[in-house]
Amino acid sequence: MKPTTPYYLIDEKKLLRNLKIIKQVRDLSGAKSVLALKCFSTWSVFPLMRKYMDGTTSSSLPEARLGYEKFGKEVHAYSVGFTRQEIREVSTFADMVIFNSLSQLKRLAPETRGLKLGLRVNPGISHSHFALADPARRYSRLGVTNQTDLMKVASRLSGIMFHFNCENDEFKSFASTLDQIGLKYGPLLKKMEWVSLGGGLSFTKAGYPLHQFCRKLKQFSQEFGVQIYLEPGEAAITGCAELVTTVLDVVHNESDVAILDVSMEAHMLDHLIYRTSPKVNSPGPGRHPVMLAGRSCLAGDVFGQYSLKTRLKPGSIVRLADAAGYTMVKKNWFNGLPMPSICVRRLNGKLETVRRFSYKDYLESLS
Protein backbone atom coordinates (compact mmCIF):
# COMPACT_ATOMS: atom_id res chain seq x y z
CA MET A 1 0.00 0.00 0.00
CA LYS A 2 1.31 3.43 -0.92
CA PRO A 3 2.27 5.37 2.23
CA THR A 4 0.51 8.59 3.12
CA THR A 5 2.58 11.76 3.30
CA PRO A 6 4.70 12.97 4.84
CA TYR A 7 7.41 10.34 4.63
CA TYR A 8 11.14 10.03 4.09
CA LEU A 9 11.86 7.72 1.16
CA ILE A 10 15.25 6.02 0.89
CA ASP A 11 16.01 4.39 -2.45
CA GLU A 12 18.44 1.48 -2.06
CA LYS A 13 19.41 1.51 -5.75
CA LYS A 14 20.58 5.11 -5.42
CA LEU A 15 22.26 4.29 -2.12
CA LEU A 16 24.05 1.38 -3.78
CA ARG A 17 25.67 3.73 -6.30
CA ASN A 18 27.44 5.57 -3.47
CA LEU A 19 28.37 2.35 -1.70
CA LYS A 20 30.02 0.91 -4.80
CA ILE A 21 32.19 4.03 -5.07
CA ILE A 22 33.16 3.68 -1.41
CA LYS A 23 34.20 0.08 -2.07
CA GLN A 24 36.13 1.19 -5.15
CA VAL A 25 38.08 3.67 -3.01
CA ARG A 26 38.93 0.87 -0.59
CA ASP A 27 40.03 -1.44 -3.41
CA LEU A 28 42.22 1.18 -5.11
CA SER A 29 43.68 2.99 -2.09
CA GLY A 30 43.41 0.61 0.84
CA ALA A 31 41.48 3.24 2.82
CA LYS A 32 38.70 1.84 4.98
CA SER A 33 35.39 3.66 5.39
CA VAL A 34 33.27 3.82 8.54
CA LEU A 35 29.80 5.35 8.42
CA ALA A 36 29.42 8.63 10.35
CA LEU A 37 26.27 7.98 12.38
CA LYS A 38 25.94 11.67 13.29
CA CYS A 39 24.84 12.17 9.68
CA PHE A 40 22.79 9.06 9.04
CA SER A 41 21.57 6.42 11.49
CA THR A 42 18.61 4.83 9.73
CA TRP A 43 19.49 1.25 10.55
CA SER A 44 16.85 -0.35 8.33
CA VAL A 45 19.32 -0.03 5.41
CA PHE A 46 22.40 -1.11 7.37
CA PRO A 47 22.23 -4.70 6.01
CA LEU A 48 23.02 -3.25 2.56
CA MET A 49 25.56 -0.71 3.79
CA ARG A 50 27.61 -3.18 5.86
CA LYS A 51 28.42 -5.13 2.68
CA TYR A 52 30.40 -2.14 1.38
CA MET A 53 31.66 -0.35 4.50
CA ASP A 54 33.96 -1.35 7.35
CA GLY A 55 31.92 -0.22 10.34
CA THR A 56 30.70 2.93 12.04
CA THR A 57 32.03 5.97 13.84
CA SER A 58 30.09 7.83 16.50
CA SER A 59 29.88 11.06 18.47
CA SER A 60 28.23 9.65 21.60
CA LEU A 61 27.67 6.48 23.57
CA PRO A 62 24.16 5.87 22.11
CA GLU A 63 25.49 6.22 18.55
CA ALA A 64 28.36 3.84 19.29
CA ARG A 65 25.93 1.33 20.77
CA LEU A 66 23.66 1.64 17.74
CA GLY A 67 26.61 0.97 15.44
CA TYR A 68 27.58 -2.08 17.47
CA GLU A 69 24.07 -3.52 17.69
CA LYS A 70 22.69 -2.70 14.25
CA PHE A 71 25.71 -2.38 11.90
CA GLY A 72 28.41 -4.56 13.39
CA LYS A 73 31.97 -4.69 12.08
CA GLU A 74 34.34 -2.01 13.44
CA VAL A 75 33.04 0.37 16.11
CA HIS A 76 34.94 3.66 16.50
CA ALA A 77 33.80 5.58 19.58
CA TYR A 78 34.50 9.32 19.68
CA SER A 79 32.94 12.08 21.73
CA VAL A 80 33.76 15.71 22.42
CA GLY A 81 33.33 14.82 26.08
CA PHE A 82 32.91 11.38 27.66
CA THR A 83 31.77 10.78 31.21
CA ARG A 84 33.59 8.08 33.19
CA GLN A 85 30.51 5.86 33.13
CA GLU A 86 30.15 6.28 29.35
CA ILE A 87 33.76 5.25 28.80
CA ARG A 88 33.27 2.18 30.95
CA GLU A 89 30.20 1.17 28.96
CA VAL A 90 31.52 1.97 25.49
CA SER A 91 34.72 0.07 26.24
CA THR A 92 32.74 -3.16 26.53
CA PHE A 93 32.01 -3.21 22.79
CA ALA A 94 34.08 -0.58 20.91
CA ASP A 95 37.13 -1.49 18.85
CA MET A 96 38.78 1.85 19.43
CA VAL A 97 38.10 4.92 21.55
CA ILE A 98 39.08 8.36 20.27
CA PHE A 99 39.42 11.17 22.79
CA ASN A 100 38.96 14.84 21.99
CA SER A 101 41.49 16.25 24.45
CA LEU A 102 44.65 15.41 26.36
CA SER A 103 42.85 15.81 29.68
CA GLN A 104 40.20 13.26 28.71
CA LEU A 105 42.87 10.87 27.48
CA LYS A 106 44.89 11.11 30.70
CA ARG A 107 41.90 10.91 33.01
CA LEU A 108 39.83 8.23 31.28
CA ALA A 109 42.30 5.99 29.43
CA PRO A 110 42.60 3.67 32.46
CA GLU A 111 38.89 2.87 32.03
CA THR A 112 39.32 1.58 28.46
CA ARG A 113 40.69 -1.84 29.43
CA GLY A 114 43.51 -1.99 26.91
CA LEU A 115 41.53 -0.89 23.84
CA LYS A 116 43.17 0.88 20.94
CA LEU A 117 43.18 4.58 21.75
CA GLY A 118 43.10 7.58 19.44
CA LEU A 119 43.21 11.32 19.84
CA ARG A 120 41.63 14.05 17.76
CA VAL A 121 44.15 16.55 16.39
CA ASN A 122 43.20 20.05 15.30
CA PRO A 123 45.61 20.96 12.47
CA GLY A 124 44.49 24.60 12.40
CA ILE A 125 43.34 24.31 8.77
CA SER A 126 40.00 23.28 7.37
CA HIS A 127 37.66 23.41 4.41
CA SER A 128 34.22 24.67 5.35
CA HIS A 129 31.71 27.00 3.72
CA PHE A 130 30.16 27.76 7.11
CA ALA A 131 31.75 29.23 10.24
CA LEU A 132 29.28 27.16 12.24
CA ALA A 133 30.87 23.95 10.95
CA ASP A 134 34.51 25.08 10.88
CA PRO A 135 36.52 22.88 13.30
CA ALA A 136 39.54 25.20 12.99
CA ARG A 137 37.60 28.31 14.01
CA ARG A 138 39.01 30.55 16.71
CA TYR A 139 38.66 29.10 20.22
CA SER A 140 37.74 25.72 18.74
CA ARG A 141 37.33 23.01 21.40
CA LEU A 142 37.68 20.27 18.79
CA GLY A 143 40.98 18.45 19.02
CA VAL A 144 44.51 18.99 20.32
CA THR A 145 46.59 21.79 18.81
CA ASN A 146 49.94 21.58 20.62
CA GLN A 147 52.42 19.35 18.76
CA THR A 148 54.80 19.05 21.69
CA ASP A 149 52.04 17.73 23.91
CA LEU A 150 50.98 15.29 21.18
CA MET A 151 54.44 13.79 20.92
CA LYS A 152 54.54 13.31 24.69
CA VAL A 153 51.50 11.03 24.61
CA ALA A 154 52.24 9.33 21.27
CA SER A 155 53.26 6.07 22.97
CA ARG A 156 49.76 5.78 24.47
CA LEU A 157 48.06 6.05 21.09
CA SER A 158 47.48 3.68 18.20
CA GLY A 159 46.12 6.40 15.93
CA ILE A 160 45.00 9.98 15.46
CA MET A 161 41.98 11.61 13.85
CA PHE A 162 41.86 14.74 11.71
CA HIS A 163 38.34 15.98 10.95
CA PHE A 164 38.89 19.13 8.92
CA ASN A 165 36.48 19.04 5.97
CA CYS A 166 32.85 20.01 5.50
CA GLU A 167 31.18 19.50 2.11
CA ASN A 168 34.56 19.57 0.39
CA ASP A 169 34.12 18.58 -3.26
CA GLU A 170 37.42 20.15 -4.37
CA PHE A 171 40.13 17.54 -4.74
CA LYS A 172 42.90 20.14 -5.01
CA SER A 173 41.86 21.60 -1.66
CA PHE A 174 41.91 18.16 -0.04
CA ALA A 175 45.27 17.26 -1.58
CA SER A 176 46.84 20.53 -0.47
CA THR A 177 45.66 20.22 3.14
CA LEU A 178 46.73 16.57 3.28
CA ASP A 179 50.21 17.61 2.16
CA GLN A 180 50.30 20.23 4.91
CA ILE A 181 49.27 17.64 7.49
CA GLY A 182 51.99 15.29 6.29
CA LEU A 183 54.64 18.00 6.62
CA LYS A 184 53.43 19.21 10.00
CA TYR A 185 52.71 15.88 11.68
CA GLY A 186 55.04 13.47 9.86
CA PRO A 187 57.04 12.41 12.97
CA LEU A 188 53.81 11.77 14.90
CA LEU A 189 52.17 9.88 12.03
CA LYS A 190 55.15 7.52 11.73
CA LYS A 191 54.50 6.41 15.31
CA MET A 192 50.85 5.54 14.57
CA GLU A 193 49.11 2.42 13.24
CA TRP A 194 46.16 4.29 11.74
CA VAL A 195 44.92 7.76 10.91
CA SER A 196 41.35 8.91 10.35
CA LEU A 197 40.86 11.73 7.88
CA GLY A 198 37.29 12.25 9.04
CA GLY A 199 34.31 12.97 6.86
CA GLY A 200 33.05 15.90 4.81
CA LEU A 201 34.71 14.73 1.57
CA SER A 202 32.29 14.64 -1.37
CA PHE A 203 34.13 11.92 -3.26
CA THR A 204 30.93 10.19 -4.43
CA LYS A 205 29.83 13.32 -6.29
CA ALA A 206 29.53 12.97 -10.06
CA GLY A 207 32.71 14.08 -11.79
CA TYR A 208 34.94 13.83 -8.72
CA PRO A 209 38.50 12.75 -9.75
CA LEU A 210 38.28 9.44 -7.94
CA HIS A 211 41.50 7.88 -9.27
CA GLN A 212 43.54 10.93 -8.24
CA PHE A 213 41.89 10.80 -4.83
CA CYS A 214 42.79 7.12 -4.42
CA ARG A 215 46.38 7.67 -5.51
CA LYS A 216 46.74 10.46 -2.97
CA LEU A 217 45.36 8.32 -0.16
CA LYS A 218 47.57 5.37 -1.05
CA GLN A 219 50.68 7.57 -1.29
CA PHE A 220 49.97 9.08 2.15
CA SER A 221 49.34 5.66 3.66
CA GLN A 222 52.57 4.23 2.30
CA GLU A 223 54.68 7.26 3.20
CA PHE A 224 53.72 7.13 6.89
CA GLY A 225 52.91 3.45 7.26
CA VAL A 226 49.36 3.98 8.47
CA GLN A 227 45.96 2.47 7.78
CA ILE A 228 43.74 5.31 6.56
CA TYR A 229 40.13 5.57 7.67
CA LEU A 230 37.55 7.79 6.01
CA GLU A 231 34.31 8.67 7.79
CA PRO A 232 31.75 9.26 5.04
CA GLY A 233 28.37 10.56 6.10
CA GLU A 234 26.87 12.61 3.29
CA ALA A 235 29.15 10.86 0.79
CA ALA A 236 27.50 7.56 1.67
CA ILE A 237 23.89 8.66 1.31
CA THR A 238 23.86 11.72 -0.95
CA GLY A 239 21.11 11.69 -3.55
CA CYS A 240 19.43 8.57 -2.19
CA ALA A 241 16.43 9.97 -0.31
CA GLU A 242 13.47 12.34 -0.59
CA LEU A 243 11.02 13.90 1.82
CA VAL A 244 7.66 13.30 0.16
CA THR A 245 5.06 15.92 1.07
CA THR A 246 1.57 17.13 0.19
CA VAL A 247 0.48 20.74 -0.30
CA LEU A 248 -2.13 21.62 2.34
CA ASP A 249 -2.90 25.15 1.23
CA VAL A 250 -1.73 27.93 -1.09
CA VAL A 251 -1.92 31.50 0.15
CA HIS A 252 -0.90 34.66 -1.65
CA ASN A 253 1.12 37.51 -0.15
CA GLU A 254 3.00 39.15 -3.03
CA SER A 255 3.97 35.58 -3.97
CA ASP A 256 2.14 32.28 -3.99
CA VAL A 257 3.09 30.41 -0.82
CA ALA A 258 2.45 26.67 -0.75
CA ILE A 259 2.14 25.24 2.76
CA LEU A 260 3.40 21.66 2.97
CA ASP A 261 2.46 19.00 5.50
CA VAL A 262 6.01 19.12 6.93
CA SER A 263 8.20 21.68 8.65
CA MET A 264 11.67 22.98 7.85
CA GLU A 265 12.43 23.30 11.57
CA ALA A 266 11.09 19.89 12.53
CA HIS A 267 11.98 17.74 9.52
CA MET A 268 14.88 19.39 7.61
CA LEU A 269 16.47 21.37 10.42
CA ASP A 270 19.97 21.43 8.91
CA HIS A 271 18.75 23.68 6.10
CA LEU A 272 17.27 26.12 8.59
CA ILE A 273 20.48 26.20 10.65
CA TYR A 274 22.70 26.86 7.64
CA ARG A 275 20.17 29.04 5.81
CA THR A 276 20.15 26.86 2.71
CA SER A 277 17.27 25.53 0.63
CA PRO A 278 16.67 21.92 -0.36
CA LYS A 279 16.36 21.04 -4.02
CA VAL A 280 13.01 19.92 -5.34
CA ASN A 281 12.94 16.64 -7.26
CA SER A 282 9.29 16.95 -8.26
CA PRO A 283 7.64 18.92 -9.75
CA GLY A 284 10.56 19.76 -12.01
CA PRO A 285 11.71 23.29 -12.84
CA GLY A 286 9.39 25.52 -14.84
CA ARG A 287 7.75 28.93 -15.07
CA HIS A 288 5.48 28.93 -12.02
CA PRO A 289 7.05 30.85 -9.11
CA VAL A 290 6.15 29.70 -5.62
CA MET A 291 7.50 29.81 -2.11
CA LEU A 292 7.47 26.47 -0.28
CA ALA A 293 6.78 26.79 3.43
CA GLY A 294 6.26 24.53 6.42
CA ARG A 295 3.17 24.22 8.58
CA SER A 296 4.73 25.18 11.91
CA CYS A 297 4.05 28.49 13.65
CA LEU A 298 7.63 29.71 13.05
CA ALA A 299 7.46 32.70 10.70
CA GLY A 300 10.72 31.67 9.06
CA ASP A 301 9.63 28.07 8.44
CA VAL A 302 10.33 28.46 4.71
CA PHE A 303 12.07 25.96 2.42
CA GLY A 304 12.78 28.50 -0.31
CA GLN A 305 11.59 30.24 -3.46
CA TYR A 306 11.21 28.05 -6.53
CA SER A 307 9.97 28.10 -10.14
CA LEU A 308 8.20 24.85 -10.85
CA LYS A 309 6.79 23.05 -13.86
CA THR A 310 3.24 22.99 -12.52
CA ARG A 311 1.21 25.40 -10.42
CA LEU A 312 0.75 23.93 -6.97
CA LYS A 313 -2.64 23.48 -5.35
CA PRO A 314 -3.94 21.65 -2.27
CA GLY A 315 -3.25 17.97 -2.80
CA SER A 316 -0.19 18.46 -5.01
CA ILE A 317 2.77 16.20 -4.18
CA VAL A 318 6.17 17.85 -3.64
CA ARG A 319 9.34 15.77 -3.32
CA LEU A 320 12.21 17.46 -1.50
CA ALA A 321 15.64 16.10 -2.45
CA ASP A 322 18.59 14.89 -0.36
CA ALA A 323 16.52 14.14 2.71
CA ALA A 324 18.85 11.58 4.26
CA GLY A 325 21.90 13.34 5.68
CA TYR A 326 21.36 15.37 8.86
CA THR A 327 17.57 15.14 8.48
CA MET A 328 16.27 12.01 10.16
CA VAL A 329 18.90 12.29 12.89
CA LYS A 330 17.73 15.85 13.66
CA LYS A 331 13.97 15.52 13.28
CA ASN A 332 12.03 16.77 16.29
CA TRP A 333 8.55 17.25 17.69
CA PHE A 334 8.30 21.03 17.38
CA ASN A 335 4.62 22.11 17.43
CA GLY A 336 3.70 18.46 17.95
CA LEU A 337 3.60 18.09 14.18
CA PRO A 338 3.10 14.60 12.75
CA MET A 339 6.45 12.90 12.25
CA PRO A 340 7.14 11.67 8.70
CA SER A 341 7.20 7.92 8.32
CA ILE A 342 10.40 6.27 7.11
CA CYS A 343 10.06 4.23 3.92
CA VAL A 344 12.60 2.28 1.89
CA ARG A 345 12.44 1.27 -1.75
CA ARG A 346 14.40 -1.96 -1.70
CA LEU A 347 16.74 -3.15 -4.44
CA ASN A 348 13.95 -5.37 -5.80
CA GLY A 349 11.68 -2.32 -6.19
CA LYS A 350 9.43 -3.15 -3.25
CA LEU A 351 8.34 -0.13 -1.22
CA GLU A 352 8.47 -0.86 2.50
CA THR A 353 7.31 1.36 5.35
CA VAL A 354 9.84 0.58 8.06
CA ARG A 355 8.60 3.03 10.70
CA ARG A 356 5.44 5.00 11.43
CA PHE A 357 5.23 7.50 14.27
CA SER A 358 2.18 8.16 16.41
CA TYR A 359 0.88 10.41 19.14
CA LYS A 360 2.30 7.88 21.60
CA ASP A 361 5.84 8.59 20.29
CA TYR A 362 5.25 12.30 20.78
CA LEU A 363 3.84 11.74 24.25
CA GLU A 364 6.72 9.52 25.35
CA SER A 365 9.35 11.98 24.10
CA LEU A 366 8.17 14.31 26.87
CA SER A 367 7.32 13.80 30.53
Share of the chain above pLDDT 90, in %: 95
In the chain, CATH 2.40.37.10 sits at 241-364
Question: What confidence score (pLDDT) does residue 264 get?
Answer: 97
Cα separation, 156 vs 117, in Å, equals: 7
Pick from 66, 59, 36, 51: which is nearest to 234 by CA? 36
Phi, psi of 357 (to 5 degrees): -115, 150
Model confidence at 29: pLDDT above 80: yes
Residue 127: which residues within 8 A CB-CB, separation 6 or more? 164, 165, 166, 168, 170, 173, 174, 177, 200
More confident residue, 136 or 300: 300
Residue 136 pLDDT grade (very low, low, confident, very high; cuts 50, 70, 90): confident
Question: What confidence score (pLDDT) does residue 51 get?
Answer: 98
Question: What confidence score (pLDDT) does residue 2 get?
Answer: 83
Q: What is the mean pLDDT of residues 182-191?
A: 96
Domain 241-364 has CATH 2.40.37.10: yes
Q: What is the mean pLDDT of residues 254-259?
A: 96
Residue 133 pLDDT grade (very low, low, confident, very high; cuts 50, 70, 90): confident
Model confidence at 1: pLDDT above 80: no
Q: Hey, CA dihedral for 18, 20, 24, 27, is it positive or negative?
A: positive
Question: What confidence score (pLDDT) does residue 318 get?
Answer: 98
Rg (CA), the chain: 22
Question: What confidence score (pLDDT) does residue 131 get?
Answer: 87
- Helices of type H across the chain: 12-29, 46-49, 61-66, 84-90, 102-108, 147-153, 171-189, 210-224, 234-237, 264-267, 269-274, 359-364
In the chain, CATH 3.20.20.10 sits at 12-237
Q: What is the mean pLDDT of residues 135-164?
A: 94
Question: What confidence score (pLDDT) does residue 18 get?
Answer: 98
Give the pairing type, strands 227-230 and 194-196.
Answer: parallel
Q: What is the mean pLDDT of residues 250-271?
A: 97
Pick from 355, 364, 361: which is nearest to 41 by CA? 355
Q: At residue 86, what is the residue type?
A: E
Instruction: Note the pLDDT tens digit of each residue in 32-63.
Output: 999 999 999 999 999 999 999 999 999 999 99
Question: What confidence score (pLDDT) does residue 156 get?
Answer: 96
DSSP lists the bridge partners of residue 250 as 258
DSSP symbol at 222:
H
Domain 12-237 has CATH 3.20.20.10: yes
More confident residue, 31 or 128: 31
